[in-house]
């Protein structure tokens, strides 16, 4: 499989990353190298093999649906790039 420049741009868009025109070929080459390497997995017989979803022993973990207040709004907001009146501030969206 060959990774095209268009595909790199499509993936970058999905990942919310800008890729400069001159960087596209390098990203494509890096991705291609890894994809060629992981092709080795096609030699593993996985007929009738179940997927491992993580490592846990397939038990669901339940907890009560109760709100626990963090209690310190200011300390959470102090990392915000921009805030106003105790809220995160973003540009107008509508």
Residue 55 is a binding residue for other proteins (CB under 8 A): yes
- The residue within the footprint of other proteins, chosen from 2, 22, 49, 67 (CB under 8 A), is 49
Kindly state the tokens that stand for 56: 């846990």
Buried b / exposed e over 48-81, threshold 16 CB at 10 Å, is eeeeeeeeeeeeeeeeeeeeeeeeeeeeeeeeee
Window 5-44: contact mask with other proteins (x via CB under 8 A)? --xx-xxx-xxxxx--------x--xx-xxx-xx-xxx-x
Least distance in Å: CB of 21 to other proteins?
14
Residue 2 is a binding residue for other proteins (CB under 8 A): no
Residue 67 is a binding residue for other proteins (CB under 8 A): no
Kindly state the tokens that stand for 89: 């501030």
């Amino acid at each position: 499989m060959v990774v095209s420049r268009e595909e790199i741009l499509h993936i970058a868009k999905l990942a919310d990353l800008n890729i400069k025109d001159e960087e596209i070929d390098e990203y494509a080459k890096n991705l291609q190298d890894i994809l060629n390497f992981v092709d080795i997995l096609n030699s593993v017989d996985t007929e009738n093999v179940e997927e491992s979803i993580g490592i846990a022993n397939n038990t669901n973990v339940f907890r009560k649906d109760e709100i626990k207040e963090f209690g310190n709004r200011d300390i959470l907001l102090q990392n915000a790039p921009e805030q106003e009146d105790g809220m995160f501030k973003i540009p107008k969206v509508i």
